Structure 1
Amino acid sequence: MKSNRIFIAWLRWPLYLRIAIIICFLLLFFGQLIVLLEPKQYHTIFDGIWWALITVSTVGYGDFVPQTMPGQVAGMALIFIGASFVTAYFATLAAAVFSKQHHYVEGKVAFKGKGHLIIVGWNEKTNKLLQSFQTIDPAMPIVLIDDSLKEGPLLENVHFIKGHGTEDVTLRKANITGADAIMITADQHENEVTADMQSVLTLLAAKGLNPSLYCLIEILTDRYVKNAERAGANQVIHTSD
């Protein structure tokens, strides 16, 4: 049972990490083996590990070369076994990097920074707003929350989070507790009343997670201005402004 738990825990490790550990084990094993097989050619363990590393990477400097048949057989075995793991390691590492980058573009990666501005909702006004912020302060970290976009806009210092601003899980991905301010824009895909209701709900969710957060909210109808102020809005912006 204990061995099964260890094996399951091992399988839960990232694939590239498991392959890296196997490669390190092979380098140590064959490095020690070649010293035992050819002590005159390889004087220290470091010489053996160096030879194993150069061999498994197929670089082949030629500074250490097995002179006996047992040493050459060990070198052949290392090439057949180790080269495949090295190739798999770099392939897995490249795939992991590509997958991570793809998750960033799709808005699946949580934001870890602090002191940032959160903008909820993507539309043409938001696009111009982001460009204005980048002109004023290019280094300002901005997190954009939107559910309509399939991929985030390619703007510098803009971290995209896909999701609804009314949901706690989405706001936590945007690190709402570490943000300085949030700007809630009206949903252009809904009618005015529904858009204002969603904006107020987003405001309530944001204030619930971070009561000290400075909140700006865009309201389309006058009837929801008071509701926004009651919900804790620091500034209400009419859509005409």
Structure 2
Amino acid sequence: MNAPAAFLRRLFASTLATATVLVAAILLLASLGFYFVELRDIPGRTLFDALWWAMTTLSTVGYGDIVPTTVPGRLIGMGIMGAGVGIMAVLTGNLASALIERRNRKRLGLLPVKTAGHSIVLGCNAHAPGLIKALATAAPLSRGPAVVLVATLTPEAFAEMAADLNLEENLSFCRGNPAQETVVARAAPAAARAAYILSQDGLSPEEADQQTLLTALTFRGLAPKVQLYAEALLEANRKHLARAGVDVTLVRGDLTERALETMGEHPALWHFLERLLGTSGNRAMRARAMSHDEKGLRWSALVGHALAAGDGLPVAVFRLRRDITIKELLDADSALDQFILELFSAYGQEGRLGRQGPAVAVNPGDGLDLADFDGLILLKTQAPPTKVHAPAGDGEQP
């Protein structure tokens, strides 16, 4: 008895639900009454005709194709006409209120995001706008927003950021602490393409990295197979984030230190890096996936193929993630290792030990098997500068 009573209490707690139930009850009773009073003795008339009459009368449409001819039938019609005016007004008003409330909840970042193949940014700091813009620009087609931001921003701050980035339709917002499971779950993490954790500003390095670690653990619990990147402030915490399931950790300031070292070796190396990295849409390099045919080529042949196609100069191959099996770690010539493999096979086990994170091989040469890699990194080819001839002067040949 407690369960039905609780259900009824929840049902009638909503005005919209109450009005809907009343409409259904009135339609049912009016249809049954009208059928037995007016239509039962008319050949070809069914209970559906009575329901049709009740619906058109309750909604105040009144097509007039079926009309009551008896006093009881007209009394039923008068009753549902009177009820229809009030109930339909309540139903329409509550439906409009529900739509407005949903819109407000979406603006506040409290609604689940319906999308797939998207990128998730967990946390917000000064680097967030640039990352979001780059992700949205490079994003493949997705069913919904290309980027979802999970952060403790105010709705006004998020709206301002989205307007500045011109991403109102391609950026969604889930408001809350990205280390909380209920908050991250609204961003559809299992359907995401990748996720990026940003360090929280305003905290000490230890506290910020602890927040990043908690966020990584939360995300991994919801999406164990999605690529996860994280920003850390302390080098010592890189290994802890790796244990929490982060595939790639970028320590803030790490690249700055390396750039300064490069500049110290030779200024030209720094200028090359500066041109190589460039800005969004103006970089001298790009990455793309390799086709099945390209994976079967040797490196020198692949370079020639890409140059001939005007695709750019390949400089590296990359692999995002791959499964590591026990077979790769065992010796094929060892009887004991073969026995272990047979045990795995006998019990129907795949022998998968885990996943290896991203890897890049720069100018690998022909000895590397490219079939194990996912894509290419290429330098964009540029047309040679056009030689400008100075205008011929007096006595000079053009």
User: Which bin holds the TM-score, normalised by the shorter protein?
Assistant: 0.7 to 0.9
Deviations 1:57-101 (A, max 9, x none): 111222223233332222111111233222222222222222222
Match of 1:66 among 68, 77, 80: 68
- Measure the CA separation in 2 of the matches of 1:210 and 1:15: 38
* Aligned pairs for 1:141-220 within 5 A: 141-150=146-155, 152-153=158-159, 155-190=168-203, 194-207=207-220, 210-219=223-232
Cα gap change, 1:237/1:231 in structure 2, threshold over 3 Å: closer, same or farther?
closer
Match of 2:92 among 90, 93, 96: 90
Q: Is the 8 A contact 2:124 2:199 kept in 1?
A: no
Higher helix share: 1
Question: Tell me, what secondary structure is at the counterpart of 1:135?
Answer: helix
Question: Tell me, what secondary structure is at the counterpart of 1:183?
Answer: strand
* Residue type of the alignment partner of 1:217: A
Unpaired runs of 5+ in structure 1? none
* Aligned pairs for 1:96-135 within 5 A: 96-111=98-113, 113-123=115-125, 125-135=127-137
* Residue type of the alignment partner of 1:94: A
* Greater Cα shift, 154-163 or 47-56: 154-163
Cα gap change, 1:174/1:228 in structure 2, threshold over 3 Å: closer, same or farther?
farther
Indicate the residue corresponding to 2:25 in structure 1: 25
Question: Tell me, what secondary structure is at the counterpart of 1:145?
Answer: strand
Question: Tell me, what secondary structure is at the counterpart of 1:143?
Answer: strand
Cα gap change, 1:35/1:18 in structure 2, threshold over 3 Å: closer, same or farther?
same
- CA shift, 1:119, in A, is 0.4
Q: Is the 8 A contact 2:125 2:199 kept in 1?
A: no
* Residue type of the alignment partner of 2:10: R
Unpaired runs of 5+ in structure 2? 163-167, 256-398
- Measure the CA separation in 2 of the matches of 1:5 and 1:166: 34
Q: Is the 8 A contact 1:185 1:218 kept in 2?
A: yes
- Measure the CA separation in 2 of the matches of 1:56 and 1:117: 48
Indicate the residue corresponding to 1:10 in structure 2: 8
Higher-Rg member (1/2): 2
- Measure the CA separation in 2 of the matches of 1:72 and 1:211: 65
Q: Is the 8 A contact 2:213 2:240 kept in 1?
A: no
Question: Tell me, what secondary structure is at the counterpart of 1:38?
Answer: helix
* Residue type of the alignment partner of 2:23: I
Give me the CA root mean square deviation.
Answer: 3.1
Deviations 1:184-235 (A, max 9, x none): 122234455543443344234434554544222223x4xx123124321432
With the length of structure 1 as denominator, give the TM-score of the two structures: 0.79
* Residue type of the alignment partner of 1:33: G
Cα gap change, 1:66/1:158 in structure 2, threshold over 3 Å: closer, same or farther?
same
Match of 1:236 among 244, 249, 259: 249
Indicate the residue corresponding to 1:38 in structure 2: 38
- Measure the CA separation in 1 of the matches of 2:28 and 2:237: 68
Alignment: residue pair count: 236
Deviations 1:169-191 (A, max 9, x none): 33333344444422112223445
- Measure the CA separation in 2 of the matches of 1:197 and 1:182: 18
Cα gap change, 1:165/1:64 in structure 2, threshold over 3 Å: closer, same or farther?
same
Q: Is the 8 A contact 1:200 1:228 kept in 2?
A: no
Q: Once the two structures are aligned, what percentage of the paired residues are identical?
A: 26
* Greater Cα shift, 115-124 or 192-201: 192-201
Q: Is the 8 A contact 1:176 1:210 kept in 2?
A: yes
Question: Tell me, what secondary structure is at the counterpart of 1:62?
Answer: coil
- Measure the CA separation in 2 of the matches of 1:198 and 1:70: 71
Question: Tell me, what secondary structure is at the counterpart of 2:127?
Answer: helix
Cα gap change, 1:198/1:36 in structure 2, threshold over 3 Å: closer, same or farther?
closer
Q: Relative contact order: is structure 1 or structure 2 higher (C-alpha 8 Å, sep ≥ 6)?
A: 1
- Measure the CA separation in 1 of the matches of 2:17 and 2:197: 41
